[in-house]
């Protein structure tokens, strides 16, 4: 009985440590998504740390929800309040972002406007800075390995 209790306590401590490490990694990823200075790389592994159905707030005007995580493709819905902004970012995998509602303005491509129904793609390691249009904006984002 005492041995079982020790084992359960050790498992609980290990789970707590894994959760704390995961929380730090997710918070670091959200910081990168929000800022224009410093680290810009959000990796495939960082994105895998998210959980389907959870809401991840980048800042008060931008958040995303993972909707599907597969071995070679991750799908998110991103919500951008009017004029909401992501920070400068890049990934070690390809990304495609389809505008479902509103528009997306790509600041690092001379303010290129991507409208409802259109898709912008980013190759691995291509820096980008998406900004929402002046209305409520919804994006379908896919990362492919």
Q: CB–CB of 93/122 below 8 Å? A: no
Domains detected in the chain: 3-144 (2.60.120.10)
* Predicted pLDDT at 9: 72
Write down the pLDDT at residue 21. Answer: 53
How far apart are alpha carbons 75 and 23 in whole angstroms?
20
Q: Beta 94-101 vs 119-122: how paired, if at all?
A: antiparallel
- 138 near 77, Cβ under 8 Å? yes
Report, as an integer, the average pLDDT of 5-23.
64
Does 95 score more than 80 pLDDT?
yes
The per-residue pLDDT for 53 is: 96
Instruction: Give me the count of residues in the chain.
Output: 145
How does DSSP assign 105-143, residue by residue? EEGGGTTEEEETT-EEEE-TT--B-EEE-SS-EEEEEEE
What number is the average pLDDT over the span 70-89?
95
pLDDT over 70 (residue 131): yes
Predicted confidence (pLDDT) per residue in 21-79, tens digit:
556 777 777 777 777 878 899 999 999 999 999 999 999 999 999 999 999 999 999 99
In angstroms, the Cα distances linking 108 to 23, 36, 74, 95, 131 are 30, 12, 24, 15, 10
**CA nearest 111: which of 140, 85, 131?**
131
Give me the chain's average pLDDT, please. Answer: 89
């Amino acid at each position: 009985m005492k041995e079982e209790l020790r084992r359960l306590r050790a498992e609980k401590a290990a789970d707590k440590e894994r959760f704390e490490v995961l929380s730090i990694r997710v918070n670091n990823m959200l910081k990168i998504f929000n800022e224009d200075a410093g680290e810009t790389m959000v990796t495939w592994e960082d994105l895998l740390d998210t959980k389907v159905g959870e809401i991840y707030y980048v800042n008060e005007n931008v958040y995303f929800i993972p909707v599907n995580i597969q071995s070679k493709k991750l799908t998110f819905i991103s919500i951008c309040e009017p004029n909401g902004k992501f920070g400068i970012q890049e990934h070690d995998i390809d990304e495609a972002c389809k505008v479902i509602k509103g528009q997306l303005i790509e600041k690092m491509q001379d303010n290129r406007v991507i409208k409802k129904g259109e898709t912008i793609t980013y190759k691995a390691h291509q820096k980008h800075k998406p900004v929402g249009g002046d209305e409520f904006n919804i994006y379908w984002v896919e990362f492919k390995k």
